[in-house]
């Protein structure tokens, strides 16, 4: 006999063996006992939560000759025939590969015939959301008024994609994610049956990575058993799954909280060199900071955070060195990195960018980080570690201009300093007068009308063609869209994404900027976008403007310098 995977071999055969879905199994058993069976059911929920298993059990139970308290006996002729697939009364259909109108019409034709042995002819349609619109319409009439012998069980992970006309004709049952303790206990029973020794923390690690799906947990366990037959250790599972152990996660999270970029990046390099999966590591970090958030937010930790007593105590100790706002910021940045790394050919770089953002607050201009800075500033002011100088009073009282501002280096950056004569200085030590001169000079350089660019665009293209014909072949498909402050937006129509991506490379972009700025004697920046990105670009620009206004509102317009 060929090998059978664990999740198939140990698939539950009765409702009582279906873990974590008592709210569903109790209802279904009562319907069978009371003979109040509906004609159509919709089973929804994430993968591996028991939808197909429940459908198979239900199909046997409604046809069983000797069901016991709503459970199939699995011993009678009908049950055995369904179990070994030798009866045509129960039909399983995969809607992902049979989703056309013709497939549903064929189903309707066959559904007219009564069952051969059982009481009901049961159709189990898996991944039903994959049916086409025409197929749903073809199924609708049969689903609304089926023959008395016909029973439909529809299963899906995405119920929102089903038409409401289909959903309204079914009894809907939502399957929950299976609790970690239930997954651990089930795997422990299986390992006992297979006579395999396994460490408790191994099962805990597998259960946490299964994300509430029993099938995923058993697939991982199956893979680990193939690695070693007699005993499963924690290190075996770490090496198989590419998971970083908890000590490493604590080390890198401590480095992040300490703002130690060098150590953080060294640990990332060590993880990559050891062959660990970067995407999995980002998930582990998110889970770790989630645990820190729970520890920081509630006293009822043990019922929410899975782990040993020592693990939770270490979490509590680590949480005391940071704020809840900082933890939430870390989760947001890491979640963004996770989304980007899924589609990136260089997930390591995405992770390193995220790590640098976490360690260097100056690179993060999110509202959360700005709010965090405000909280820190308020604490410093409250504790008397810094003071705020009224600029107007400096003009009227020269003595006030010599007051010192006491604060740490990071908080002094947005504040003004004063020279010995009470004159205003910028951060680089230049006086207010020189700052005005530079500002006026800068304005005169970029003072160019967008219409001038349009009128002279053909001449610019000719210049580029003479110097770099390959770049000319790319830029000729773009057209100037608008001049926004100091940035010239050049748009490419749909179908010229290759040209846009090629011209946007640093070397090519710098060349284009150089030609334009030399032609007009300006200091413009150039930005390339697709025509369908114009609305998104405008929304991002508006969003940035709102952030600037928020910063001015929080810190005061006089203390904010926009560059």
Please name the CATH architecture into which domain 180-241 falls: Orthogonal Bundle (1.10)
C-alpha to C-alpha distance for 269 and 267, rounded to whole angstroms: 5
End-to-end CA distance of the chain: 72
CA 470/CA 355 separation, integer angstroms: 38
Same topology between domain 6-174 and domain 448-545: no
For the chain, the structural domain boundaries read: 6-174, 180-241, 246-364, 391-444, 448-545
Characterize 193-218 residue by residue with b for buried, 16 or more Cβ atoms within 10 angstroms of its Cβ, and e for exposed.
eeebebeeebbbbbbbbbebbbbbbb
Q: Which of 394, 290, 388, 269 is nearest to 332 (CA)?
A: 290
pLDDT tens track, the chain, 563 positions: 567 888 888 999 999 999 989 999 999 999 999 999 999 999 999 999 999 999 999 999 999 998 888 999 999 999 999 998 888 889 999 888 888 888 888 888 888 888 888 889 999 999 999 999 889 988 888 888 888 899 999 999 999 999 999 999 999 999 999 988 899 999 999 998 888 888 888 888 888 778 788 998 999 898 888 877 678 888 778 777 766 677 788 889 999 999 899 999 999 998 888 888 888 889 889 999 999 999 988 888 877 887 667 788 888 999 988 888 889 989 999 999 999 988 888 999 999 999 998 887 665 566 666 776 777 777 777 776 655 555 454 444 444 444 443 444 343 344 344 444 444 444 444 444 444 434 444 433 446 788 888 888 989 998 998 888 888 888 988 999 888 878 899 998 888 888 888 889 998 899 999 999 888 888 888 999 988 876 665 555 555 665 666 665 655 555 555 55
What DSSP designation does 127 have? T
Q: State the CATH class of domain 448-545.
A: alpha beta
The two three-digit tokens of residue 360, written as one number? 């260097």
Mind listing the pLDDT tens digit for each residue in 232-258?
A: 888 778 777 766 677 788 889 999 999
Under 8 Å between Cβ of 454 and 478? no
Return the number of other C-beta atoms located less than 10 Å from residue 407's C-beta.
16
Q: Calculate the dihedral angle through the C-alpha atoms of 239, 245, 251, 256, rounding to the nearest 10 degrees.
A: 80
CATH number listed for the domain at residues 246-364: 1.20.272.10
User: What pLDDT digit, counting tens, does each position of 70-86 carry?
Assistant: 999 999 999 999 998 88
If you compute the radius of gyration of the chain from its CA atoms, what whole number of angstroms results? 33
Task: Evaluate whether 128 touches 159 at the Cβ level (below 8 Å).
Answer: no
Half-sphere exposure of 387 (CA within 13 A, CB side): 8
Three-state DSSP at 521 gives: coil
Indicate the CATH number of 6-174 among 3.40.50.300, 3.40.50.620, 3.40.50.720, 1.20.1110.10: 3.40.50.300
Q: How far is CA 561 from CA 29, 543, 548, 556, in A?
A: 69, 18, 10, 10
């Amino acid at each position: 006999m060929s090998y059978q995977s664990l999740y198939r071999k140990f698939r539950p055969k009765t409702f009582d063996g279906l873990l974590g879905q008592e709210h569903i199994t109790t209802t279904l058993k009562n319907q069978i006992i009371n003979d109040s069976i509906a004609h159509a059911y919709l089973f929804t929920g994430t993968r591996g939560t028991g939808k197909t298993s429940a459908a198979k059990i239900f199909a046997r139970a409604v046809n069983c000759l000797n069901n016991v308290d709503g459970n199939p006996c699995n011993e009678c002729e009908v049950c055995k025939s369904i179990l070994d697939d030798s009866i045509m009364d129960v039909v399983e259909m995969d809607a992902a590969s049979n989703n056309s109108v013709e497939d549903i019409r064929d189903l309707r034709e066959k559904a007219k015939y009564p069952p051969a042995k059982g009481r009901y002819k049961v159709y189990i349609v898996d991944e039903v959301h994959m049916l086409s619109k025409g197929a749903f319409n073809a199924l609708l009439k049969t689903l609304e008024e089926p023959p008395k012998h016909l029973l439909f069980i529809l299963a899906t992970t995405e119920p929102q994609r089903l038409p409401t006309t289909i959903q309204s004709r079914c009894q809907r049952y939502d399957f929950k994610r299976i609790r970690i303790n239930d997954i651990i206990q089930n795997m422990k029973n299986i390992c006992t049956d297979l006579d395999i020794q396994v460490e408790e923390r191994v099962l805990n690690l597998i259960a946490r990575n299964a994300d509430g799906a029993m099938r995923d947990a058993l697939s991982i366990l199956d893979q680990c058993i193939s690695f070693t037959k007699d005993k499963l250790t924690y290190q075996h599972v770490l090496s198989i799954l590419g998971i970083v152990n908890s000590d490493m996660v604590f080390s890198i999270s401590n480095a992040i909280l300490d703002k130690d970029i060098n150590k953080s990046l060294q640990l990332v390099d060590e993880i990559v060199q050891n062959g660990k999966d970067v995407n999995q590591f980002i998930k582990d970090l998110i889970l770790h900071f989630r645990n820190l958030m729970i520890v920081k937010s509630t006293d009822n930790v043990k019922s929410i955070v899975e782990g040993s007593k020592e693990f939770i105590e270490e979490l509590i100790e680590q949480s005391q060195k940071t704020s809840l706002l900082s933890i939430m910021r870390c989760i947001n940045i890491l979640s963004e990195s996770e989304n980007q790394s899924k589609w990136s050919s260089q997930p390591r770089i995405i992770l390193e960018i995220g790590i640098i953002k976490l360690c260097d607050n100056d690179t993060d201009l999110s509202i959360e980080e700005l709010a965090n800075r405000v909280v820190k500033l308020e604490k410093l002011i409250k504790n008397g570690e810094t003071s705020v100088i009224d600029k107007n009073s400096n003009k009227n009282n020269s003595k006030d201009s010599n007051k010192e501002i006491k604060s740490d280096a990071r908080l002094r950056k947005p504040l003004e300093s004063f020279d010995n004569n009470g004159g205003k200085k910028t951060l680089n030590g230049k006086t207010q007068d020189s700052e005005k001169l530079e500002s006026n000079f800068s304005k005169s350089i970029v003072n160019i009308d967008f219409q001038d660019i349009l009128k002279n665009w053909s001449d610019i293209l000719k210049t580029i063609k003479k110097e770099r014909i390959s770049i000319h072949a790319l830029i000729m498909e773009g057209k100037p869209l608008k001049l926004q402050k100091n940035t010239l937006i050049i748009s490419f129509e749909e179908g010229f994404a290759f040209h846009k991506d090629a011209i946007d490379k640093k070397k090519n972009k710098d060349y284009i900027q150089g030609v334009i700025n030399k032609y007009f004697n300006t200091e413009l920046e150039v930005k390339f976008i697709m025509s369908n990105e114009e609305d998104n670009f405008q929304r991002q620009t508006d969003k940035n403007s709102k952030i600037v206004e928020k910063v001015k509102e929080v810190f005061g317009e006089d203390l904010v310098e926009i560059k």
